[in-house]
Structure 1
Amino acid sequence: MTEETTPTDAALPHQVPRANASTLIYNEDGEYLLHLRDDIPGIWEPGSWSLLGGGREPGDRSLEETARRELCEEAGLVLPDLTPFTVEEARGRDGGTLPIQIFTGRWAGDPATLNLTEGVMLHWFRPEVVPRLRMASSTRDLIRRHAQLRHRESLGTVAEETAGHSSPVGHAPLSPPPGGSGTVLNGIGVHLYLESADGKVLLGLRHPDSAYAGSMWHFLAGHCEQESALTCLAREAHEEAGLRIEPGDVELVHVVHLVDTPGGRPRMQMVFRARRWSGLPEVREPDKCTGWRWWPPDGLPTQTVPYTRAAIEGIRAGRRYTEMGWS
């Protein structure tokens, strides 16, 4: 690993990176919709089960638009909501790698009614059947991870309902009942703090349509899945910006215990400093971040996420902990 020392702006917002987009479609019965590809030499994964998707075209304003266009073109399928899930890397016929933005979406229809224009067929499969199918190992792993995540979410919902809450986790006020009793689950976020050789800090400009902090500057960050915080940090660094870090090369430098709104879900935001890393920051999830830039800590942009600014100030002052939003 080598330490990155050259401040740079990477992948300006108007640039369109070479990338693909695919959609992991599931239903309420826990099944996944898979596409059997044509068994034709020369195409990617011939004769295998895969996800619907394809390459970004010049007219696509975002990778979500790419995913929606491919769903419509390949199967006449229109989904009301697509949610970014992760970024995978596929190896092309030329030996190079290509990032693939994976979205998830719900659908409850009959695939036999769809107008399939590519491939052989579409079919629903339960996760336990997937290991017996011919498919790329990365696709099999995606389904396994998503199925595990849905299972954990369902257990969380049952736990809340048992405790007297009727709404799913994250959709109802999570303040304790009167009298101070009850347990409130806190969300856990990880954040990457990088400093260049001249002391500037790397921040990303969030997409204007982002569900959180649109058009504001923020750390490279993510939420932990079924993984440790350091594993999550390394994964997010690679997925979001193409950076490679090793868990042994980072240290916890600040924690912000945050409540954004009264009665909202508390979040524990952990900020880790990487002593070494490799790669230059690039925009790999343009639906979330439109550009990376190095900023002097005493000259942060006005539109900086408040707790990001508080964490940077705390790090510079040698403090390890900040509370925000608690009355």
Structure 2
Amino acid sequence: MSERYRSIVDVYVLLRRDDKILLMERANTGYADGQFCPPSGHLEQEESVIDGAIREAYEEVGVSLRREDLHFVHVVHHRNPKGQARIGFFFEATGWEGEPSNREPEKCAGILWADADKLPPNTVDYTAAAVAQIQDGHEFSIHGWAHG
């Protein structure tokens, strides 16, 4: 009998202004430092994906979101080259309170508004793949699996 599958769940918040999305440059984290990704993080115990997205957006870039500000746009089942899997839920927000700023300078080298159709080449690979899927109108993808 095989062990029950378990996965880390990540949440991503795409803050949009026209054709641009907000990205953060990772720093001093030990994972993907020097690469860009949207405000994101993994769920904490007893937290829904919506609550996690709201918390991460506030902690990382200082914007306040309400549940009705978030719209589900994509889910990706990702596996890294070491075989570790994650499930990432992407939400889009076109309205929020506050001006985005770098609230975690110890983990983020800076923020920028990037064209969603032409992300910086140093965007985290699976995040860039998911954003491309979102731009094409797809709500689901797999990344890093043998047939994905």
TM-score > 0.5, shorter chain as reference? yes
Instruction: Indicate the residue corresponding to 1:253 in structure 2.
Output: 73
- Residue 236 of structure 1 corresponds to 56
1:193 correspondence with 2:23? no
Please say if 1:294 is aligned against 2:113. Answer: yes
Are 1:212 and 2:2 counterparts?
Answer: no
Equivalent pair of 2:70/2:93 in contact (CA under 8 Å):
yes
Q: Secondary structure at the match of 1:230?
A: helix
Q: Distance in 1 between matches of 2:83 and 2:23?
A: 29
1:184 aligns with 2:5: yes
User: 2: distance between equivalents of 1:280 and 1:260?
Assistant: 33
**CA distances 1:64-87 after superposition (whole Å, capped 9, x unpaired):** xxxxxxxxxxxxxxxxxxxxxxxx
Question: Aligned with 2:68: secondary structure?
Answer: helix
- Which structure's CA Rg is the greater one? 1
1:82-97 → structure 2 map (5 Å cutoff)? none
Aligned identity (percent) is 37
- Distance in structure 2 (CA, Å) of the matches to 1:185 and 1:192: 23
Structure 1: distance between partners of 2:133 and 2:97: 26
How far apart are residue 316 of structure 1 and its match?
A: 1.0
Shift of 1:299: 2.3
More strand by share: 2
Unaligned runs of 5+ in 1: 1-179
Other-structure match for 2:90: 271
Structure 1 residues 308-327: aligned runs within 5 Å: 308-327=127-146
**Greater fraction of residues in helix:** 1
Task: Tell me the amino acid that sits aligned with residue 289 of structure 1.
Answer: C
Q: Is the contact between residue 37 and residue 124 of structure 2 (CA under 8 Å) also seen in structure 1? A: yes
What is the CA–CA distance in structure 2 between the aligned matches of 1:287 and 1:189, rounded to whole Å?
Answer: 20
Contact 2:77 2:87 (8 Å CA) reproduced: yes
CA shift, 1:244, in A, is 0.6
- Segments of 5+ residues of structure 2 without an aligned counterpart are none
Instruction: Measure, in 2, the Cα distance between the counterparts of 1:220 and 1:263.
Output: 24
In structure 2, what is the Cα distance between the partners aligned to 1:306 and 1:267?
A: 14
Q: Number of aligned pairs?
A: 145
Displacement after TM superposition at 1:306 (Å) = 0.8
Equivalent AA in structure 2 for residue 246 of structure 1: R
Q: Which amino acid aligns with 1:186?
A: S
- Offset of residue 293 of structure 1: 0.6
TM-score, structure 2 normalization? 0.92
Q: CA deviation at 1:194?
A: 1.5
**Residue aligned with 1:299, SS:** coil
What TM-score do you get using the length of structure 1 for normalisation?
A: 0.43
State the one-letter code of the partner of 2:33. Answer: G
Letter in 1 for 2:12: H
Distance 2:101 2:75 in 1: 26
Q: State which of 73, 82, 101 in structure 2 corresponds to 1:282.
A: 101
Partner of 1:127 in structure 2? none
Equivalent residue letter for 2:130: A
> Which structure ranks higher in relative contact order (CA pairs < 8 Å, sequence separation ≥ 6)?
2
